[in-house]
Chain A
Amino acid sequence: MSVPANTAASGGDPVEILGAGDMSRALTRIGHEILERNHGAEHLVLLGIPTRGVPLARRLAAGLARVEPGLDAGALVGDLDVTMYRDDLAHQPTRSVGATALPAGGLDGKVVVLVDDVLFSGRTIRAALDAISDLGRPRAVQLAVLVDRGHRQLPIRADFVGKNLPTSAGERVRVLLSETDGRDAVLLEGARR
C-alpha cells in the first residue's frame, strides 16, 4: 500500500516512471525470480496487500501458471488485510477494514510471498508480518513490490523489486492498475516545487 508523505498538490506535472509495457515486463521478471529462488512453485503462497497488492498478486500468480504447467493460479493466491495491525491507526482518519482470504491450504509450512505496490516506510510490511503470525507459521516470508522508493523507517527490505526509484520524501508515488484505475502506470508526483 502506498503511504504517501502528504504534500500539498504542489507544482510539477506527474512524471510517468513505468508504462504498461514496463510494468508487464517487471512483473514477468519478478515471477521468474520467485520461481528461481524457490525452485518452483511448490509450497508457494502469494498474498496481496489491499488495495493494489491484491490485483498485483493475481497477475503474478497468473504469470507463474503460464510458466509452470499444471499450476492452479487461483489456489496459490490470497488477500491479506493489515488494517487492524497498523501502528498509526490513532493518527489517521478511520480506515475501513478489508477482507483477508487465504488459499485453502492455509499458511503453515508454506513460503509466503507478500505482494504490495510501493515499499516506503516499511510499516505496512511490519503490520503484515504481525498479521501473518496470527494466521499460521509459514516456513519463510518473502516480499515482492512493484516500486521501492526508499525512506525506510524499519529494518525491512524487499526480495523482489520491479523498479528501484530514488525519491525525495515530499514526492508521491502513485501506482495505477487497470483493475482499479483503468490503466497501468507508475507516476511520480510533486517532483519539483
Chain B
Amino acid sequence: MKHLLSAGDLDRAQAVTILDTAAAMAATQERQIKKLPTLRGRTVVNLFFEDSTRTRISFETAAKRLSADVINFSAKGSSVSKGESLKDTAQTLQAMGADAVVIRHHASGAPHRLAHAGWTAGAVVNAGDGTHQHPTQALLDAYTLRRHLVGLRGGTDPVGHDLAGLHVAIVGDVLHSRVARSNVQLLHTLGARVTLVAPPTLVPVGVESWTADVSYHLDDVLDQGPDAVMMLRVQRERMGGGGFFPSPWEYTRGYGLDARRLARLPEHAIVMHPGPMNRGLEISADAADADRSVVVEQVANGVAVRMAVLYLVLAGQEQPTVDGQIGASA
C-alpha cells in the first residue's frame, strides 16, 4: 500500500489486513511501555488546511507511538495565509524529507493531487478532504463494529473476519459527510448492509449509485433492528445560509437519537458518532452517554487504526527518492 486516499480503493483483503494490523497495534497499547521502535528515523508531516483537533492528535499519537518524528503544519499562521499554493507547500515538505504526509484539506481531491502530481515522494494519507473521503475514520468505525458485533462480541479481536451480515444505519447530514461516503464504500466492501437515513434535503444527488439503501424515516429503520446506528454531525459550518431543515427542533424530532429511540434498538446494537457531537441536536445526552454508546472507544481505536495505516504505508518501502533530486537514500 503506497497511499491511502479513499476507502473505495481498498479491496476486502486489504481492508481486513488493516483491521488485523490495528488489532495487533491495539494490543501493544495496553502495555506499560506503549512506544514501539518500528518507524524510528521516519518523518511524518501532519498537513492540516482545515481545523481538526481529534484527527490531528490521533495521527500525531499514532506516529509517535511508532517512534516516527512528527511535524505539525497547520494552515493558520503559515505561509499558506500569505498565499502559498499546495504545490509549493508540498515541495517544501519534500525538501525537508517527509516520508509520509497526512493531509486534511477543505478541497475534495487535494490528497489525490498531492499523491499523483509528483511534488512529493512520500506516502500520502487522506485525513479528510472536503465532502469527499475520510478513509481512516471509516476504518476505525469498521474496526469498532468488528470488535463489538463479530465473533465473541466485545472479547478478543476477531482477526481475519469481515463484517458480513451486519446492518448499519448511518443517520443525519449525509450530504456534507465525507465520513458517510467512506463508510458506505468500506462497509459494503466488508460485506455489511448500509441504510442511509436523512431528510431529503440532506441526501446527495446521485445517491442511487451508492451501495446503500436510503430512507427518510428514522423510526422505520430502527424497527428493522440494525446492529449499529452511526449518527452524523450536522455540519452547520458547511450549510451556508441554511434552509436544509426548518429548525433544529424539527430536525431533532425527525432524526435525533434520544432515549425513546434508543429503547427501540435490539439488545446488542451499538451507537456510534464520529465526533464532535452536537448534543441535543442529532444525539441526546441520554444516547451519547448510554452503555451501548461506543463514541469514546472510537477515539481510542482511531489511534490503533492510524498506527496500522502508517505502518503499512511506511514500513515496507525503500527510502523515497524523487526523480531528478538527490534522494535521502539509506
Contacts and interface: CB of A to CB of B under 8 A. Distances in A.
B38 A89 contact: yes
A128 to B, nearest CB: 13
Interface in B23-39: 23-25, 27-28, 31, 33, 35-38
Contact of B1 (A81, A94, A135): A94
A142 interface: no
Interface stretch (B131-139, B144-152, B314-322): B314-322
Contacts of B315: 89-90, 94-95
A93 B23 CA distance: 20
Interface in B306-324: 308, 311-312, 315-319
B108 interface: no
Contact of A134 (B20, B33, B312, B330): B33
B21 interface: yes
B24 A99 contact: yes
A96 interface: yes
Interface residues of A, number: 18
Contacts of A89: 38, 315-316
A93 B248 CA distance: 52
A15 to B, nearest CB: 33
A98 interface: yes
Contacts of A90: 315-319, 330
Contact of B24 (A92, A97, A130): A97
Contacts of A84: 28, 36-38, 66, 311
A99 B308 CA distance: 13
26 contacts: A84-B38, A84-B66, A85-B38, A90-B316, A90-B317, A90-B318, A90-B330, A91-B318, A91-B330, A94-B312, A95-B316, A96-B20, A96-B21, A97-B21, A97-B308, A98-B24, A99-B23, A99-B27, A100-B24, A100-B27, A100-B28, A130-B37, A134-B33, A134-B36, A135-B31, A135-B33
A134 B330 CA distance: 27
Given A85-B38, A94-B311, A94-B315, 5 more contacts: A90-B317, A96-B17, A98-B24, A134-B35, A135-B31
Query: Is chain B's interface secondary structure helix, strand, loop, or mixed overall?
Result: loop
A98 B159 CA distance: 10
Interface of B: 1, 17, 20-21, 23-25, 27-28, 31, 33, 35-38, 66, 159, 308, 311-312, 315-319, 330
Contacts of B308: 97
Interface string A9-36: 0000000000000000000000000000
A62 to B, nearest CB: 24
Contacts, number: 55
Contacts of B35: 134
Contacts of B36: 84-85, 134
Contacts of A94: 1, 311-312, 315-317
Question: Which 10 A-B pairs rank lowest in CB-CB distance, beginning with the nearest?
Answer: A94-B316, A97-B24, A84-B38, A89-B315, A134-B33, A84-B36, A97-B21, A93-B316, A94-B315, A94-B312
Interface in A100-146: 100, 130, 134-135
A97 B31 contact: no
A126 B312 CA distance: 22
Nearest to B22: A97
A94 B309 CA distance: 12
B137 to A, nearest CB: 22
Nearest to B24: A97
Contacts of B17: 96
A58 to B, nearest CB: 19
A97 B28 CA distance: 11
A93 B318 CA distance: 9
Given A96-B21, A98-B24, A85 B37 contact: yes
Contacts of A134: 31, 33, 35-36
Nearest to A101: B27
B283 to A, nearest CB: 35
Nearest to A133: B33
Contacts of B330: 90-91
Q: Pick the most buried of A97, A100, A135: most chain B CB atoms within 10 A of its CB.
A: A97
A97 B311 contact: yes
Nearest to B308: A97
Q: Pick the most buried of B25, B35, B36: most chain A CB atoms within 10 A of its CB.
A: B36
